[in-house]
Amino acid sequence: MIGDNWLMNRFLFFNRADKFIKFLKSENEGAFAVILALMIIPLMALAGAIIDYSNASAIRAEMQVATDSAALAAAREAKDDLAKMQTIAKDVYDNNLVRLGVVENSTIVASQIENGVRVDASYPMPTIFLKFIGINKLDINIFSEIDISGSNLEVALVLDTTYSMRGSKIANLKNAAKNMVDIIMEEETDGTVKIGLVPFSRYVNIGMSNRNEPGIEVPDDYEVSRPDYCRNTYPNSTRKCDRRRENYPCVIDGVATTCSRWVYYNCTGSLGEPVWTCTPRSPQKYRWYGCVGSRDYPRNTTDDGYNLEKVPGLLMRWNNCKSNPLTRLTNVKSEIVAGINAMSARDYTYVPAGLIWGWRLLTDKYPFADAAPKDDNLTKVLVVMTDGANTISPTYPEHNGNNANIANNITEEICQNINDDGIVTYTIAFEVTDSAIKSLLQNCAGNGGSYFDASDSAELAVAFEDIADELLKLRVSK
């Protein structure tokens, strides 16, 4: 019943409206036309204004993104050089907006502000409809300020320096890492940015100057007397041989390569009668060269309990400590750059060694206490790069095993513990083909960090630069 009444009322309304319009047209046709014409003009202006202002709003949004990017790039690359800052800001702005056709008439001004950069952008947008009522343009004015005195940063670079990184790979890694440092760090900061470096292979070398740090236990160096070295000698030998260097296929750190050895041939003459000869030998020295091993499981996956079990220093008969020394957290850029430049590619891969020491650099407890306590204004960041799978596993305290599954499980546990500790973790796989380590690295990234799969040196450079940009954004306070 209600629906029927509504339909009837609607019919009567439109029927009466139609009769009224016909009446106006017949009785006052001229007046009605004038009124209608007068109404159409403001209605068209209103519709046109809506379209023009919608266009302005869309362009403003694109300009804001472009201006933010320009300010970030200027702050990153030229915050102390006004002319260069202007050039970079304009180039980035233009590249972002060239597709919209607003570049030619835009005005971009970069300026220095306290602790950062400001970029102002303006564009007189031509109107399409509003020009018919005398409004030929809409001025769009925006700005972006980058203040890099915001959140403090502590960053640990954990970088694979194993045999498989030899040649151009280690050189490209050095360049990418140094570029990242250039982006986020002044020559010497006031402590708002600190960076540490952990080169790793089979072991991590913590540096001989850190021998007596709390949480580290290095036995005293010692010597062992040795018996005389006795063997057959051939003082009357007339034997002569030609020799040549022979190459043969071998595998080092999971990489198929070519090794070489001496081969003797065309031998003539005789060795003669043997003479038993003994030679005194000097004592065998066992020394510490800076390398540390693993605590017993599961403490080798945690950053606590150093009062119960300290990190073991490894004494060696020969200097088999192949990794370059780590660099503790510092606000001096030259110290980090020097550590990166010194890196060399040797020995086998044990990712957990790098992970646990990167984490240790970022905590304010044993063995090092260079890091600040956790704070809302402090971001702790771990950047891990490797080019291959684990090829070594722990034998406690040494790393002389070859069980990749054990090493992978320990890698996974340390990653989980690092993420549980709130560390922002970025991971980079560099020319990695092993799916297991790729999966581990992807799952290791966390707390806002990202995983990068760099298939070549160009992508490696981009990965480090993208991480630096993200860290710079973390410091933006406006």
Q: What is the pLDDT of residues 389-432, one digit of tens each?
A: 999 999 999 999 999 999 999 999 999 999 999 999 999 999 99
Half-sphere exposure of 88 (CA within 13 A, CB side): 21
335 and 198 fall within a common domain: yes
417 and 470 fall within a common domain: yes
Flag whether 328 is in a domain: yes
Flag whether 2 is in a domain: no
Number of domains present in the structure of the chain? 3
Question: Residue for token digits 């054990």?
Answer: 406
Flag whether 16 is in a domain: no
pLDDT at 173: 98
Q: Give residues with Cβ within 8 angstroms of 126, minimum separation 6.
A: 136, 137
Flag whether 264 is in a domain: yes
341 and 386 fall within a common domain: yes
Half-sphere exposure of 233 (CA within 13 A, CB side): 8
Q: Which domain holds residue 366?
A: 152-220+293-474
Half-sphere exposure of 89 (CA within 13 A, CB side): 32
pLDDT tens for the chain, residues 1 to 478: 433 443 443 344 345 445 545 554 555 555 555 565 556 666 666 776 788 888 889 989 998 988 888 888 887 676 667 888 889 888 988 888 877 777 788 888 988 887 778 899 999 988 888 887 788 888 999 898 877 666 789 999 999 999 999 999 999 999 999 999 998 887 666 678 999 999 999 999 999 999 999 999 999 999 999 999 999 999 999 999 999 999 999 888 877 788 999 999 999 999 999 999 999 999 999 999 999 999 999 999 999 999 999 999 999 998 889 899 999 999 999 999 999 999 999 999 999 999 999 999 999 988 998 999 998 889 999 999 999 999 999 999 999 999 999 999 999 999 999 999 999 999 999 999 889 999 999 999 999 999 999 999 999 999 999 999 888 876 654 4
pLDDT at 73: 80
Residue 469: CATH number of its domain: 3.40.50.410
Confirm if 353 and 293 have CB atoms less than 8 A apart.
no
Residue 195 DSSP symbol:
E
140 and 158 fall within a common domain: no
191 and 106 fall within a common domain: no
| Strand, helix or coil for residue 143 | strand
87 and 200 fall within a common domain: no
pLDDT at 149: 61
Flag whether 22 is in a domain: no
pLDDT at 262: 95
Tokens of 47: 């519709």
39 and 134 fall within a common domain: yes
418 and 466 fall within a common domain: yes
pLDDT at 6: 35
457 and 368 fall within a common domain: yes
